[in-house]
Each structure stands twice: as C-alpha cells, then as structure tokens.
Amino acid sequence: MRIALLGWEGSGKTTVFNAVADAPVAPTPGVRQTETHVQVVRVRDARLERCREIFQPRKYTPAGLELWDPPGLPPGTAEADKERRHRRLAALREADAFVLVVRGFATDQYPYERAAPDPREDLLRLAEELITADFVIAQTRAEKLREQILRKARTQDQDRLELAVLDKCLERLEAGRDLADLALDEADEKRIRGFQFFARKPCLLLVNGPVGLPEGLASACALTLRGASAMDAQIDAELNAMDPADRPAFMAEFGIEAPAADRFVGEVYRGVGLISFFTVGEDEVRAWTIHAGDPAVVAAGRIHTDLAKGFVRAEVFPFDALDAAGSMRELKAQGGVRLEPKDYRVKDGDIVHIRSAL
Ligand SMILES: Nc1nc2c(ncn2[C@@H]2O[C@H](COP(=O)(O)OP(=O)(O)OP(=O)(O)O)[C@@H](O)[C@H]2O)c(=O)[nH]1
Ligand SMILES: [Mg+2]
C-alpha cells in the first residue's frame, strides 16, 4: 500500500512524516524540499506480537504502509508554479491512497501565503486542483480518441468504448465532482485504470496544527473524504524523536493517547478499508495488508504470485482461536483449521496458509 501525503507547500507534510516515521528526515534550513521521502510505517498489532510469543520465529515482520512525503504544491498562479504543480502531481498518481495535509497552524515561513491558517480554503482549493488535473488528462485523451474515430484509420470499437467511459468521467469532473461513486463495470474500470485519477482513489483529510478539525469541513469538500482527523504534528514529531523512556510523561502532559504512527495507521486502515492477515511458523511470523473483502487468491498473491497461480486451498483460522488454544497442536486437535477455496473472503486477523500446486 502506497500512501502519499499531498498538500500545498509548507502545510507540514514532512512534519507529519516525521511524526509517524521510524527514522525522521532532517530538514535543511532555508532549503526547500525537492525530492520525495519514502519510508515504511510499521503497523503495530498486538495480535501479531502474540503470534511471535507462540511461534518464537526466526523472523518477525509486521505489516507496513509505504508512506510518501513529496514536496508540496506551490500555490502561485505564475506559469512556473503551474508547471511545478503539474509535475509534482503527475509523480504522485501511482499512489494507492492520499492523505490531504492541510495547514492548521500560523506561520510566516512561506511568505506568499497568508500567515493565519485557513484549512477550509486550503482544502477546497486542493480538491479543485486535483479534480482539474484529472479533467485535463481525461479531456486530452478524449480529444485524441475523437480524432482517431473520425479518421477511421483502424478498428474503433475499443476507442469508442474508452471514449464512452471517459465522457462519463468528464461530465462529473467538469461539474467539479469526483469519481468516487461512479458505477463502472470491470471492463470500464480497466479502461480508465491507467489514468490513475485522483478523483477515483481514496482520499483522507488531515488538518495539521493546533486548530483541530473544523466542524463540517470534510463534507464541504468536492472530493469524497474517507476519513478526517487532526494532528498537531510538531508535537507528535517531537514525541517521536524522544527517548522511549521519556515518552509517557510527555504524552500525559499533552494529552496524547497513542503514538502518531498508530493513529495514522488506524485512520488509513479504516478510511481505505484495509485489513491485516497473518502467516505464521517457526521461520517467520508476518502480517500482510489487503482490502477488506479481498478473496483468498488475492491474499495469496500478496505473498507470492506463484501462490496465486497455483492456488489449491487456503488453510484458515482466526487469530482468536489460536490465542485461545495457545498452540498449533492444540488448535489442530480441536479441529480449528478450515480449508477454504479461492473466493473465500479473508477476514481481519485470519491466519492463512496457502496450499499451492506450484
Ligand atoms: N506551529 C506549527 N508549525 C508547524 C507544524 N507543522 C509544521 N510546522 C512548521 O511549518 C514549516 C513547514 O513544515 P514542513 O513539514 O516542512 O512542511 P511541508 O509541507 O513538508 O513543506 P514542503 O515540503 O516545502 O511542501 C516548518 O517550519 C514546520 O516547523 C505544526 O503542526 N505546528
Ligand atoms: Mg516537506
């Protein structure tokens, strides 16, 4: 899962990154960020730790979300700013989901912006920017297809089908709406997949700073937000950089209930609709991330493409059953391991072993 932080320049993305990442990046004073920072944020899971206790594996691998912290979008109207926005957005399209980071703190560091925070204005403009960027892509492709169809140079069935679905997208994007609930069949979905529209991917809102989450903000946005939260990332980044022994006192002082990484992962899991399943054994105890509702064959493919290709059956049991039994031997004696077919919907906390013919 690739999760990209996305926001205007100076909205605090790198500070959020530093609040949740294991190894914070040090900003160079006076130098604007130009490269994307990437780090895997570990998904802490008490159930997986219990599995470690039971199996004493040689290797222990929690699930992880790959987090991108790209340079922000310059908000100016000059050509150079527009071009940079375009380039920076294009570089983010491959991400699976976006956390829109909006400034909720006062600053005079980015002087071309107002000092006071205005999360509402920043969010609405950001949503508009993303929808417009998608519109331009869809429009450009649609024009090209129309030309091809007029020229009648080659068979046009596929072109017509692609154009039809693009027109559906364009109608919405032009009206400033997203594509979240546009009903498409699998073939049409495939036809537009390559465009990687922001407006069709899961987006969450994170207001960064002491102002908190303004009431009604999430629903005012043209993009369907799959979650909305606030973080005072500077404080959380400070906490994250601290010696673990000093953390509890700091957390109590600032009323922080859980580390930022755990809150962030929780928001993303809920918003995007993710679940974890586990593979266990003496070699390795490991957690994997999939979408809720994914069938066993997709889960197998997460582990290895061969396991999906050669899929025979999945041996499945819930973590809770293992936890209660205390060992594999006891669980098996109770007949607690089921055999499931390809289309079995894997559940959060399932422990899975794939039987494969390859
Ligand atoms: N008071 C306050 N300041 C913050 C907070 N988050 C970030 N800042 C400050 O805002 C400035 C910009 O923060 P960054 O995290 O670098 O912002 P960014 O979005 O990564 O910026 P670009 O990479 O240039 O787009 C820094 O001086 C931060 O210290 C916050 O929650 N509260
Ligand atoms: Mg940054």
Let me know if residue 332 belongs to a domain.
yes
Cβ atoms 268, 97 nearer than 8 A: yes
Q: Tens of pLDDT along 165-180?
A: 999 999 999 999 999 9
Say yes or no to pLDDT of 219 above 90. Answer: no
Residue 27 forms part of a structural domain: no
What is the predicted pLDDT for the residue at 28? Answer: 75
Closest ligand to C-alpha of residue 37 is 2
Q: Is the pLDDT of residue 153 over 80?
A: no
Is residue 236 scored above 80 in pLDDT?
yes
DSSP class of 36: -
Q: How many domains does the chain have?
A: 1
Kindly tell me if the per-residue pLDDT of 280 is higher than 80: yes
Which one is predicted more confidently, 32 or 111? 32
Identify the three-state secondary structure at position 282: coil
pLDDT at 8 over 90: yes
Name the pairing type of β-strands 311-318 and 59-61: unpaired
Relative to the CA of 232, which ligand 1 atom is closest? Answer: 31
- Cα(69) to ligand 2 centroid in Å equals 6
Q: 232 CB less than 6 Å from ligand 1?
A: yes
CATH, residue 335: 3.10.20.30
Residue 114 lies in a domain: no
- Pocket lining: 75 vs ligand 1, CB cutoff 6 Å: no
State the average pLDDT for the chain: 94
Tell whether the model's pLDDT for residue 154 goes beyond 80.
no
Evaluate whether residue 302 is within a structural domain: yes
pLDDT at 155 over 80: no
Q: What is the pLDDT of residues 195-218, one digit of tens each?
A: 999 999 999 999 999 999 999 998
pLDDT over 90 at 27, yes or no: no
CA–CA gap between residue 261 and residue 236 (Å, rounded): 9
Helix (H, G, I), strand (E, B) or coil at 181: coil
Which mutation among 234, 235, 239 tests ligand 1's pocket best, with the greatest number of atoms within 8 A of CB? 234
For ligand 2, the distance from its centroid to the CA atom of residue 203, given in whole angstroms, is 19
With b for 16 or more beta-carbon neighbours within 10 A and e for fewer, the 68-107 pattern comes to bbbbbbbbeeeeeeeebbeebbeebbebbbbbbbbbbbeb
325 alpha carbon to ligand 2 midpoint, in Å?
A: 48
Q: What is the per-residue pLDDT for 173?
A: 97
When pLDDT is averaged across residues 187-194 and rounded to a whole number, the result is 96
pLDDT band at 152 (very low <50, low <70, confident <90, very high): confident
- 325 found inside a domain: yes
**Looking up tokens 């909205």, which residue turns up?**
11
Query: Within a domain: residue 273?
Result: no
- Separation of alpha carbons 276 and 282, rounded Å: 20
> For the residues 306-322, what does the mean pLDDT come to?
97
Cβ-in-10-Å burial (0-12, 13-18, 19+) of 30 comes to exposed
Assess if residue 264 is contained within a domain.
Answer: no
Q: Provide the residue range defining the domain that includes 351.
A: 293-356
Position 157 scores a pLDDT of 87
More confident residue, 32 or 128: 128
Atom of ligand 1 nearest to the CA of 101: 19
Model pTM? Answer: 0.94
Q: CA torsion, points 338, 344, 348, 352, in degrees to nearest 10?
A: 50
Confidence of residue 283 (pLDDT cuts 50, 70, 90): very high
The tens digit of pLDDT for each residue in 78-123 reads: 999 999 999 999 999 999 999 999 999 998 887 667 899 999 999 9
State if residue 133 touches ligand 1 by the CB under 6 angstroms criterion: no
- Label residue 349 by pLDDT band (50, 70, 90): very high
Ligand nearest to the CA of 18: 1
323 has pLDDT over 70: yes
Kindly indicate the confidence band of residue 156, based on its pLDDT and cuts at 50, 70 and 90.
confident
Residue nearest to atom 2 of ligand 1 (CA): 105
CA pair distance 47, 117, nearest whole angstrom:
40
Nearest CA to ligand 1 atom 14: 12
pLDDT of residue 279: 98
Residue 315 scores a pLDDT above 90: yes
- Provide Rg for the chain, Cα atoms: 23
Instruction: Name the β-bridge partners of 67.
Output: 3, 39
Would you state the pLDDT for residue 112? 65
